[in-house]
Structure 1
Amino acid sequence: MKSLMQSSTFLRTITVALLMLIGLTEAYAMSASTLDKRQIAIIPIAAQTASGDIEGLKVSLNKGLDAGLTVNEIKEILVQMYAYTGFPRSLNGLGAFMGVMQERQEKGIQDNVGKEASSLPADYNSLKDGAANQTTLIGVEVKGPLFDFAPAIDEYLKAHLFGDIFARDVLSWQDRELATIAALANLKGAGSQLGSHYAISMHNGLTEPQIRAFIEVLREAIGEETANHATEVFNQVIAARR
């Protein structure tokens, strides 16, 4: 009888362990194939900033705050946009966000401000550390004829974009890449850069199903033309990887 009870307890323990493992596996598979509310909210904010759709952006900014993005995270997305879409788009986006925040405060809505960027080490070197960040982010050292032709742009990319902006820890690199591909997808003539950043996004943890989900968010929030172009570029990236 004691032996039977021990066997029954052992079987129950194994069963519970297997069910937990199955649950964890299913949860991982779900997280690897979908985007969460925060990630979904990032996409139209970046895309509409890139195109200058201020009225649409105001709606997306409200939705982003309601979805759990902090005030500082949204500021960070809008600031980063200047590196990809120019100061005018970034400044217009920030101006729109100021207006949205004022309207929400007047309605008594208290939004989560969120954390500030951590201080960088005293010996931080934007060019040197930015080059290291770039290599880690992309997976290889970046060089080529274009950067030999115009060394200044190589220095600006390393020192400012990857040294100053990507070093700020308000957003993860995955979040930053999601914002980048959203902006590039809605920026005419940036297909080559979009393809490169799809690859960088996947190197930093975004899965193929998640990028397919990203494209569907673009389809709903931005439109068929943008989504179809984003799909075409992504299919080319996937074909090249295979």
Structure 2
Amino acid sequence: MNSKIAIILAGIFFSLLSFSSVSQAQSTNTQDLNTKQQSIVTIAAFTAKGDLDKLKTALNDGLDNGLTVNEIKEVLVQMYAYTGFPRSLNGINTFITVMDERERKGIKDVVGREASPLPAGKSSLELGTEIQTQLIGGPNKAKYNAFTPAIDQFLKAHLFGDIFGRDILDFQNREIATIAALTSMEGVNPQLQGHLNVGFNVGLTETQMKNLISVIEDKVGKKEADNATVVLNKVISSRSH
């Protein structure tokens, strides 16, 4: 083989390799939520709605789809920060019922790992400030910080430090749960818009966001999905400018 032929063949090889890499990246970017993530959507949505019958079905489906017991517990615990203690506690009690029923049927579910300890030598406020800054893409400059410093501290120390700092769920799955809950509630479009932005910041794609809304439409309701679509389109438009 002379040198010219070798150079040509090498060029073809690297072109094919490059095309394969680009195609793989595009495929990754167009993937829908996986079945476990879709279960997080329904669990969060029905917890937020307070629809315990449908939540019971969603919890069973989540376990069957591979979510661990501790991952589901984590979703239900996180929900109290967005839906209040009553809805979160009702969700947890419903999960206890589901677990008891499955145990009586001889179903052995994977418990999963516990959360790692929070970083030593760092307060919840310090950790939460770091996490919030990472999620929103910079310091939080909302007007409520100065108007009510207490809520700012609670958000940073407790929501982002104590809750988001727990590593049983990653930031993507926590945002999927949050977006699903907010989508299922009325009167929270500003918060939904904020968390859709955070979802993009942590690597969720437009396709995944739209898939999340399609799950809401299929399982929860068209009204909720239509509202979420309007908010999502506003977020996509603002991020493209």
Q: Same fold (TM over 0.5)?
A: yes
Aligned to 1:30: 27
C-alpha separation in 2, matches of 1:93 and 1:164? 20
Aligned to 1:92: 90
Change (3 A) 1:103 1:26: farther
Aligned to 2:222: 224
Q: 1:81 deviation in Å? A: 0.2
- After superposition, the CA RMSD in angstroms is 2.0
Runs of 4+ with deviation above 3 angstroms: 17-28
Q: 1:87 deviation in Å? A: 0.3
Matches within 5 A, 1:38-187: 38-187=36-185
Q: Which amino acid aligns with 1:29?
A: Q
Change (3 A) 1:83 1:23: same
C-alpha separation in 2, matches of 1:241 and 1:143? 18
Matches within 5 A, 1:169-208: 169-208=167-206
Please state whether the residue corresponding to 1:195 is helix, strand or coil.
helix
Aligned length: 236
| TM-score for the superposition, normalised by structure 1 | 0.91
Unaligned runs of 5+ in 1: none
Q: 1:145 deviation in Å? A: 2.1
Q: 1:112 deviation in Å? A: 1.0
Change (3 A) 1:103 1:23: farther
C-alpha separation in 2, matches of 1:58 and 1:23? 43
Q: Which amino acid aligns with 2:143?
A: P
Change (3 A) 1:25 1:89: same
Q: 1:119 deviation in Å? A: 1.1
C-alpha separation in 2, matches of 1:230 and 1:135? 25
Unaligned runs of 5+ in 2: none
C-alpha separation in 2, matches of 1:86 and 1:92? 10
Q: 1:120 deviation in Å? A: 1.8
Q: Which amino acid aligns with 2:190?
A: S
Listed one character per residue, the Cα deviations across residues 62-112 of structure 1 (whole Å, up to 9, x for unaligned) are: 111111111100000000000001000000000001111111111111111
C-alpha separation in 1, matches of 2:24 and 2:107? 33
Aligned to 1:214: 212
Listed one character per residue, the Cα deviations across residues 145-180 of structure 1 (whole Å, up to 9, x for unaligned) are: 222111110000000000100110000001000100
Aligned-pair identity (%):
50
| TM-score for the superposition, normalised by structure 2 | 0.91
Change (3 A) 1:204 1:107: same
